[in-house]
Amino acid sequence: MAWTFDQTIPIYLQAAYRIRSDIVCGRYCKNEKLPSVREFALTASINPNTIQRAFGLLEEEGLVVTQGTAGRFVTSDNTVITRARESIAKQLVEGFAAKMTELGYSPEEAARLTKSYWGKTSPTNILKKEAQSDESADS
Amino acid sequence: MNLPILECRNLSKSYGQSDLALNNFSIALPRGKVIGLLGPNGSGKTTLIKLIAGLLTPTSGELLVNGMPIGVETKRIVSYLPERTYFDPGMQVEETIRYFADFYMDFNAEKARAMLEDLGVDTNKKMKALSKGTKEKVQLVLVMSRDAQLYLLDEPIGGVDPATRDYILNTIVSNYNPDSTVLISTHLISDVEKVLDEFMFIHNGALVMYNSADNVREELGKGIDELFREVFRC
C-alpha cells in the first residue's frame, strides 16, 4: 500500500516514523534484514535520499544497524525496541489526551470510554463505520 | 565528485528588446538530487532549461554543466524533456526508440520498451495516432531511459492523468542514481513535492529562494505548495 504523507512535516521524519512503527509492531522482526533504500523508496513513492535520511535517524536511535555490505537489519537489542514502542505510545496518548480535554472529558471518562472500545475496532473499521453512517444519513 | 552538476553565474537572457527572461541568475546545483524548478507562468523556467540544454545562448553570464561550457560534451550527459514533443507525427513509437538509440550512446532501448509496455503503449502505432497524454508518456520514457547525469524535465506531468503522474514520479525515483540530478519544472507542486530533495522559486527571471524541501517543512511547518502560494500570492 502506498504511504501517505503530511506535506507540512518533514518527509524523512514521517518515513522514519513509519518504519519505526513497523518494527515495533513486529512487521519487521528482531535481527531481520530490512528492504533496501531503493525498495522502500519505490513502495513509499518518495526520494531515495529521504529514505536514506530516515535510516540515519533510526540508526542513531539504535533501532536499525548497518552490517557492512550485507545491508540494514533490525536491532537484536530488545530494550531498544521496547523504548521505541513506549515513545510511540506516549506520543499517541499525548495527542489523545489533549483532544479529549478539548472535548471536555475527564481522565476517568476518557479511560472508561477507551476501555469500552478496546478490542472492538481498528482504525480502518472506524473509517468504514463513519462512511456507512454518512451514507445512511444521506438516504 | 564535489563539482556541481550545474553552475550558473550571473546568467542573463533577453529576447530582443523586451525585458530580461533571466536576470543575473546564479546557482550551483549538487549531484544526486531531485530538484524542483518552480515559478509562476513566464518566470523564466523554460528559458533556464533551454539555456542548459543548449537550445538558447545566454545574453551574458556563465553556464557550466559538470564544469564544462555548453556544447557537445554537455549534451552527451544532459537528457532534456521539452514542453512539447518534437517527433515526426508519421513516426512509429518503435522508430522513435531506434532514433534515440542512434542519437544517444547512453540510451537503453530495452528499458524504454519495458516501460512503454508497463504503460500499455503500443509501439507499432504512429505518433499522430496517440493521444496527447500518451505522446507525453513516450517522450518522457525515452528521456528517462538515457543514463544521463542531468535530466531536465520541463513540465513532465502537465498533460497526464493522476495515475500516470504517479507512475512517472515512480519512474523518476526508481531511476535515481547518486551521481545524477533531476531538475523538474512544474506548476503541479502538490503532485511532485514529496519526491523533491530541493527546490528553487524563480520570479521575473531571478532566484527568489533555494532550499531543501524538508528544511522548509522543519523550519516553517509548511509544504512547498503552501509556501509557493504565499510567496507568489496575486
* pLDDT tens digits in sequence order for chain B, 234 residues long: 579 999 999 999 999 877 889 999 999 999 999 999 999 988 999 999 999 999 999 999 999 999 999 999 999 999 999 988 888 999 999 999 999 999 999 999 999 999 999 889 999 999 999 988 889 889 999 999 999 999 999 998 887 888 888 888 888 888 778 889 999 999 889 989 999 999 999 999 999 999 999 999 999 999 999 999 999 988
What is the distance between the alpha carbons of residues B20 and B205, in angstroms, rounded to a whole number? 7
Q: Which of A59, A17, A15, A14 lies closest to A39 in space, CA to CA? A: A15
Residues of A numbered 69-128 whose beta carbons fall under 8 angstroms of chain B's beta carbons: which are they? Answer: none
Is B202 in contact with B37 (CB distance < 8 Å)?
yes
Residues on chain B touching A36 (C-beta within 8 angstroms): none
Is pLDDT at A134 greater than 80 in this prediction?
A: no
CA–CA distance, B39 with B22 (Å, rounded to integer): 12
Would you state the pLDDT for residue A131?
Answer: 53
Distance (Å) of CA B166 to CA A57, B157, B214:
27, 9, 21
Cα separation of B168 and B100, whole Å? 19
Residue in chain A closest to B221 (alpha carbons) equals A8
Q: Which of B151, B194, B196, B228 to mutate to test the interface with A (most CBs of A within 10 A)?
A: B194
Of A38, A46, A49, the CB nearest to B33: A49
B173/A12 touch (CB, cutoff 8 Å), yes or no: no
Interface test with B, best of A36, A49, A51, A52 (most B CBs within 10 A): A49
| CA gyration radius, chain A | 18
- In this complex, do A48 and B173 lie within 8 Å of one another by their Cβ atoms? yes
Cβ contact (<8 Å) for B217 and A7? yes
Backbone angles phi, psi at B217, to 5 degrees: -65, -40
The answer to whether the Cβ–Cβ distance between B194 and A10 falls below 8 Å is no
Sheet holding B68-69, edge to edge: B20-29, B6-14, B60-65, B68-69
**Does residue A139 register a pLDDT over 70?**
no
Predicted TM-score (pTM) of this structure = 0.86
Angle at B37 between CA B34 and CA B43, to 5 degrees: 175
- Quick check: helix, strand or coil at residue A26? coil
Q: What is the pLDDT of residue A112?
A: 94
- Domains in chain A, please, with CATH? 11-78 (1.10.10.10), 105-138 (no CATH)
What pLDDT, on the 0 to 100 scale, is given for residue B160?
A: 82
pLDDT at A1 (0 to 100):
54
The three-point CA angle B108-B147-B197 to 5° equals 135
Phi and psi of B17, rounded to 5°?
A: -80, -25
Residues 6+ apart with CB under 8 A from B166: A2, A45
